[in-house]
Structure 1
Amino acid sequence: MSISEDRIAWEEVIEAKAFVDMARITPQPFKDSVEFTCMPVGTGCAISLPTAPAVGLNRILALNERDELNLAFEWMKTKTGRRHVQIRETSAANELRGWILDQGLVENGAWVKLTRPAPSAPLPIEGPVRARLAGIDDAPIFGKLTCAGFGFPAELEPLWSCLIGKKGWACFIAELEGTAIGTGAMFIEDGYAWLGGGTTSAEYRNRGAQKALINARLNEGLAQGVSLFAVETVQPREDQPNISFANLTKAGFKPSYVRKNYLLPN
């Protein structure tokens, strides 16, 4: 029986597909060395990378059916790290809330999902920062900048570097006066696109890099026939402004729903 009769939203599905594909194209020796694993389940997946500090690489997402959630949960319990289950708030019917309690999950923040249609025409290039498609030669700096921006250990740089040049992926580097200062990635499938990996070196923040990276991905997606774009960020609060959320809404993205994070007990 389904815990919720709600369909899994397309913006949730394209995100899960991006992580499943990331795991598929990451070289096996590297995956083995850092214990990076991913299990596709239904429309979603469970993904584990214990040394990554971010929720995004240690979670269950895009599932709301009891059997699928239980399958993913049992798999995730065998992993280490700060593991989470992400649940779309509007899908949290009483039966699902009971499941959360039964598993001993603890609420640990929330993300907001945002979407927007493709622009009607290419967006103009403004400001001193330029974002360009990354080529194979850029793979090392792309991995280095992405890990540094997210506070990941340097050993995880190949996780991002291996995305360069792969089918379905478009990776960008933001530059200021010739210096690489930020990165952004995009996964495309069947007219949908997921934006991820957007980060800027600490010393170059608030210079316009994220705006340039967002617009560059929208323009590339438009050129590749994308009709709808999705992205997520930490849910903003009055006492904790979210620059990422502000940049995305200025770029035409609108909140779609809130997804809560539930931490697995140790």
Structure 2
Amino acid sequence: MPAFHCDLALARRLERANALDGEDAARAEATLFPGRVDVAIERVAGGSLIFCGVDSFLSHALGLGLDGRRVSDEALDQLERFYFSRGSRAELDLCPLADASLAGRLVDRGFRPDHFEAVLVRPLRPGEPARAPEPPAGVTLREAGPEHTEAYAHGLAAAFATADERELYELIADVGRSSFHRRAGPRMMAWASGDSAPVAAAALNLHEGVACLSGAWTRADHRRRGIQRALIEARLVLAARAGCTLAQVVSDPGSATQRNAERCGFIPAYTRLVLSKPAP
């Protein structure tokens, strides 16, 4: 594996890819659900402001403060105005290599820490890895097609919401549906012998040579079989074939997702702080 150092240049690539991924997801929402929500995207301070609805997981600011300059007060005014004018709280993913004054100034404005995100990275060489190891016995991996949209959407929702959380369930399912309208990369699914429905799935989105691995879920009765690790390895092969030189995974710190990524050669690059401020 190529050696690398987690510096500002690397952070810029990762955060740029993350922002492009967020913009791509927002445009897919607008295409799939026209008229439901007024999707909006603005660029400021080297990053992106994204709005897909008041309760949407996609509504947040990404990649600000990495252009080597102090983020201006006017840019922060624009950030707040962008979300508050739409009745939404303002949420920002802050990279620790961004403008060093930004965290304190956001707190002074009433932003508060919400949660952390672990950003993991793995360098790639074009064409390496050339092929993935065999998946677990009885499991087949295939690229998913449009006909698998509902299976992917409901699998994703079931992984993060209970049957009693109908509003949250449908919100996540819609994110899964819009994922299939994106053109940034393939969706992979896993089938187990004797089971007609997919038992796991994951997404791959490619942006400027960075492969973003996301959207992973596994059905409860097929967890701890190594299926997600197989899906990671399969997507790394696709990313290398596409000429990507970096792959990234974003997860809750210390989660099973992080553990699976580390087993596949990813290492922690840094931890993002997510801050939010309620609408007035």
Q: Taking structure 2 as the reference length, what is the TM-score of the superposition?
A: 0.79
Number of the residue aligned with 2:94: 87
SS at match of 2:265: coil
Determine whether 1:153 maps to 2:169.
yes
Offset at residue 188 of structure 1 (A):
0.9
| Cα distance in 2, alignment partners of residues 112 and 46 from structure 1 | 21
Distance 1:37 1:244, change over 3 A: same
Number of the residue aligned with 1:12: 15
Q: 1:199 aligns with which of 217, 221, 228?
A: 217
Distance 1:202 1:82, change over 3 A: farther
Number of the residue aligned with 1:239: none
| Cα distance in 2, alignment partners of residues 97 and 138 from structure 1 | 42
SS at match of 2:14: helix
Number of the residue aligned with 2:3: none
Determine whether 1:116 maps to 2:127.
no
SS at match of 1:187: strand
SS at match of 2:122: strand
Offset at residue 263 of structure 1 (A):
1.9
In the alignment, is the contact (CA less than 8 A) between 1:106 and 1:264 conserved in 2?
A: yes
Number of the residue aligned with 1:73: 80
In the alignment, is the contact (CA less than 8 A) between 1:89 and 1:257 conserved in 2?
A: yes
Determine whether 1:223 maps to 2:241.
yes
Distance 1:265 1:166, change over 3 A: closer
TM-superposition CA deviations, 1:134-191 (whole Å, max 9, x none): 1121122122212222324225534323433643221111222243122211111332
- Map 1:175-254 → 2, pairs under 5 A: 175-177=191-193, 178=195, 179-236=197-254, 242-254=255-267
| Cα distance in 1, alignment partners of residues 264 and 96 from structure 2 | 25
Distance 1:251 1:74, change over 3 A: same
Q: 1:51 aligns with which of 47, 51, 55?
A: 55
| Cα distance in 2, alignment partners of residues 250 and 36 from structure 1 | 41
In the alignment, is the contact (CA less than 8 A) between 1:39 and 1:47 conserved in 2?
A: yes
In the alignment, is the contact (CA less than 8 A) between 2:24 and 2:182 conserved in 1?
A: no
Letter in 2 for 1:106: R
Offset at residue 50 of structure 1 (A):
2.9
SS at match of 1:21: helix
Distance 1:176 1:168, change over 3 A: same
SS at match of 2:243: coil
Number of the residue aligned with 1:132: 142
More strand per residue:
1
Letter in 2 for 1:200: T
What percent of counterpart residues are identical? 23
Offset at residue 16 of structure 1 (A):
0.9
| Aligned-residue RMSD, C-alpha | 2.5
Letter in 1 for 2:227: A
Number of the residue aligned with 2:278: 265
In the alignment, is the contact (CA less than 8 A) between 1:131 and 1:175 conserved in 2?
A: yes
More deviation, 197-206/15-24 = 197-206
Q: Which runs of 5+ in 1 are unaligned?
A: 1-5, 237-241
Letter in 2 for 1:263: S
In the alignment, is the contact (CA less than 8 A) between 2:251 and 2:258 conserved in 1?
A: yes
Q: Which runs of 5+ in 2 are unaligned?
A: 1-7, 66-70, 162-167
| Cα distance in 2, alignment partners of residues 135 and 27 from structure 1 | 20
More deviation, 110-119/199-208 = 199-208
In the alignment, is the contact (CA less than 8 A) between 1:112 and 1:259 conserved in 2?
A: yes
In the alignment, is the contact (CA less than 8 A) between 1:17 and 1:44 conserved in 2?
A: no
Q: Taking structure 1 as the reference length, what is the TM-score of the superposition?
A: 0.83
Determine whether 1:164 maps to 2:164.
no
More deviation, 62-71/205-214 = 62-71
Letter in 2 for 1:258: T
Offset at residue 36 of structure 1 (A):
6.2
Number of the residue aligned with 2:5: none
